[in-house]
């Protein structure tokens, strides 16, 4: 078949020009819509909606399920920032799904050990595990179902198994040698019979199923006292009961190798788990062309999305042409300015004053725009305070953690919306806790051991996470939820998706399918905080002549795979018609939108 013949076929299939052919249809429904990083997780969320649950119930069910289905990018020992729109109350809330540093984790302690940068693996980088607390808090405060209703599907996936898929199998193969040599508990949990199942073969995680059943047993014992009391009992068994004791014993008694070149135990103690509670907070918001965009606070990188929007508000983006050299250059230079402010200002607001009222103001954006040269790439970090200087380049790629996260969304028939970005506790960065079937996270690696840095380590402080769900309102009504994995790139890829929809009027699926790009100019959040000054990564579907033009502007362009940047998932709610539109990027293969 000739290229022309192929184009004609695509035109017929797409019902439009081949340029507008999309990898998947936009899924539409009027009763409920879900997206998640794995198709089985999405089916579970849809099942919850079909059985009368609301968007939060569906989100929590998917969140537990994804911890079973995608252990290479998210585990139940990790964390999960969440945004929720409550239709009845007409308000947006943020759940601070990030555990803090242990009380024994101090800059002085690390310096005494001769450690200058917190490692990205092992037990030493473990903050307080958050996900169980945040999922149960969301369910208790904003859901309608019992824990057994939303957790049983995950128990079934772990205990009865699910078909092995190629991406999980490849991740297990990549880590299997390290498991056997350094982390035998991980080998026992993830390769229980000494071999990795083939794709399509049933895969069981018995210890994880057993841990989940302990939560359900605790709920059942206290059921007579009421729903909230039963949910609190399930949470308590993890943070104050038998599971907590097992976690602490493992962290205390095992000194295991990490990237410091030594064997280290963890720093968590009983009080860290006992005193932890998920917080419900006011989100941060900014307006953009008639839309109100919500993000979690500056304990995550979320406000950087809003700073980019405020800068872009001063430009006519469609006139530049989508993904033209001029357009890509502008978005990259805008990202450099916003992320320079992230490095200078962002941190846990309980410990550092983050001047969001200034950073998100129109006047500040107007002044910052003056720094953008429309014809030349900047090679400096230019924050809103302090001197300008080139970023410090270190060994280690800025993209090494780009796949270590998942995402989910749900919208129900009442107009409730949830966007959650679970991550951490993935199996290649920390050993499995023996008998529980999951590892802890390593989010403390995001701290700096510089007391003057906004994101410096302090006991009880939340590390500035990269996890950043998005929620959008329009005229006071629910409009959109979306997110992606991708570390520091999350708020660059989702920004492009949002602009594709809002400024360019794209079909939502086309908006996730078109090629993307990102900057790695600024220090990475992950160990070892490497930066690649002036570096711009583009998917190879960006035309060669565009790449050449960007290089003439001074960008160092890295050409990545055709479909290699993230996995944006999203749902739009048409409040006038009561219709939901769900999409999932084909990148990373397993994400799906489902609705009816």
Distance CA 39, CA 23 (A): 16
CA 120 to CA 567: how far, in whole Å?
Answer: 23
Is the CB of residue 483 less than 8 Å from the CB of residue 490?
A: yes
pLDDT at 404: 74
Phi and psi, residue 434, nearest 5° = -55, 125
Round to whole Å and give the CA distance between 177 and 392.
Answer: 33
Cα distance between residue 349 and residue 297, in whole Å? 8
Q: Rounded CA gap, 438 and 247, in Å? A: 10
CA atoms of 479 and 258, how far apart (whole Å):
44
DSSP for 91-147, please give it: EEEEEE--PPPPTT--HHHHHHTT-SS--SSSSTT-----HHHHHHHHHHHH--S-H
Predicted pLDDT at 393: 73
Mean pLDDT for back-to-back runs of 10 residues, the chain (596 residues): 37 44 95 98 98 98 98 97 98 98 98 96 97 98 98 98 97 96 96 94 98 98 97 98 98 95 96 98 98 98 98 98 98 98 98 98 98 97 93 57 79 98 96 98 97 98 98 98 96 98 96 97 94 95 97 98 95 97 96 98
Query: How far apart are alpha carbons 140 and 119 in whole angstroms?
Result: 35
Residue 410 DSSP SS3: strand
For residue 229, count other CB atoms closer than 10 A to its CB.
13
Q: What does 447-486 look like in DSSP terms, one character per residue? A: SBS-TTSTTB--TTPPP-B----EEEEETTEEEEEEE---
- Alpha-carbon gap, residue 269 to 247, rounded angstroms: 9
Q: What are phi and psi of 17, to 5 degrees?
A: -60, 150
Question: Could you tell me which residues come within 8 angstroms of residue 23 by beta carbon, excluding any fewer than 6 positions away?
Answer: 509, 513, 586
Which residues, at least 6 apart from 110, have a Cβ–Cβ distance to it below 8 Å? 116, 118, 449, 457
Whether a cis peptide bond, with omega within 30° of 0, leads into 115 is no
C-alpha–C-alpha distance, residues 46 and 542, integer Å: 35
Centre a 10 Å sphere on the Cβ of residue 361 and count the other Cβ atoms it contains.
14
Name residue, tokens 């905080």: 529
Helices then strands, each counted (H, E), the chain: 20, 21
Around Cβ 554, how many Cβ atoms within 10 Å?
Answer: 15
pTM of the model: 0.95
CA angle (138 as vertex; 136, 141 as ends), nearest 5? 105
C-alpha angle 145/581/405, rounded to 5°? 65
What's the token pair of residue 58? Answer: 């569906």
Question: What are residue 556's DSSP bridge partners?
Answer: 535
pLDDT value, residue 395: 56
């Amino acid at each position: 078949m000739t290229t022309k013949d192929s184009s004609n076929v695509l035109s017929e299939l797409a019902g439009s020009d081949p340029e507008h052919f999309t990898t998947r249809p936009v899924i539409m429904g009027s009763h409920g819509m879900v997206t998640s990083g794995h198709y089985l997780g999405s089916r579970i969320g849809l099942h919850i909606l079909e059985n009368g649950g609301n968007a939060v119930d569906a989100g929590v069910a998917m969140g537990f399920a994804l911890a079973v289905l995608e252990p290479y990018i998210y585990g139940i020992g990790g964390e999960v920032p969440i945004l929720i729109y409550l239709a009845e109350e007409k308000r947006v809330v943020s759940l601070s799904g990030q555990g803090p540093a242990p009380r024994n984790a101090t800059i002085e302690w690390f310096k005494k050990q001769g450690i200058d940068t917190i490692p990205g693996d092992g037990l030493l980088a473990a903050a307080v595990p958050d996900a169980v607390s945040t999922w149960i808090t969301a369910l208790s405060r904003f859901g309608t179902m019992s824990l057994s209703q939303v957790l049983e599907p995950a128990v079934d996936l772990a205990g009865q198994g699910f078909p092995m898929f190629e991406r999980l199998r490849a991740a297990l193969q990549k880590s299997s040698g390290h498991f056997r040599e350094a982390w035998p508990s991980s080998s026992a949990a993830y390769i229980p019979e000494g071999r990795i199942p083939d794709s399509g073969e049933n895969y069981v995680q018995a210890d994880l199923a057993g841990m989940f059943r302990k939560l359900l047993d605790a709920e059942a014992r206290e059921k007579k006292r009421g729903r909230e009391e039963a949910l609190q009992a399930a949470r308590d068994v993890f943070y104050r009961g038998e599971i907590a004791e097992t976690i602490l014993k493992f962290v205390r008694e095992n000194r295991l190798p990490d990237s410091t070149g030594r064997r280290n135990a963890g720093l968590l103690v009983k009080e860290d788990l006992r005193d932890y509670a998920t917080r419900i907070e006011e989100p941060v918001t900014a307006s953009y062309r008639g839309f109100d965009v919500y993000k979690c606070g500056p304990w995550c990188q979320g406000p950087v999305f809003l700073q980019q929007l405020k800068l872009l508000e001063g430009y006519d983006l469609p006139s530049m042409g989508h993904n033209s050299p001029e357009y890509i250059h502008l978005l990259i230079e805008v990202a450099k300015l916003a992320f320079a402010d992230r490095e200078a200002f962002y941190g846990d607001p309980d410990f550092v004053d983050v001047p969001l009222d200034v950073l998100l103001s129109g006047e500040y954006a107007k002044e910052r725009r003056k720094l953008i040269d429309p014809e030349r790439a900047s090679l400096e970090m230019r924050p809103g305070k302090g001197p300008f200087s080139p970023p410090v380049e270190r060994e280690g790629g800025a993209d090494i953690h780009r796949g270590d996260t998942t995402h989910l969304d749900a919208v129900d028939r009442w107009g409730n919306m949830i966007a959650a970005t679970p991550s951490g506790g993935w199996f290649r960065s920390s050993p499995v806790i023996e008998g529980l079937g999951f590892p802890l996270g390593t989010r403390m690696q995001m701290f700096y051991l510089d007391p003057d840095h906004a994101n410096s380590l302090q006991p009880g402080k939340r590390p500035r996470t990269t996890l950043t769900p998005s929620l959008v309102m329009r005229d006071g009504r629910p409009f959109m939820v979306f997110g992606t994995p991708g570390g520091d790139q999350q708020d660059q890829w989702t920004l492009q998706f949002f602009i594709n929809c809002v400024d360019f009027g794209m079909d939502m699926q086309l908006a996730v399918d078109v090629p993307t790009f990102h900057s790695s100019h600024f220090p990475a959040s992950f160990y070892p905080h490497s930066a690649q000054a002036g570096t711009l990564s583009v998917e190879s579907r960006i035309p060669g002549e565009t790449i050449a033009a960007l290089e003439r502007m001074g960008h160092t362009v890295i050409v990545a795979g055709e479909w290699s940047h993230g996995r944006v998932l999203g749902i739009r709610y048409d409040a006038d018609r009561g219709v939901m539109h769900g999409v999932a990027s084909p990148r990373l293969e397993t994400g799906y939108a489902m609705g009816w």
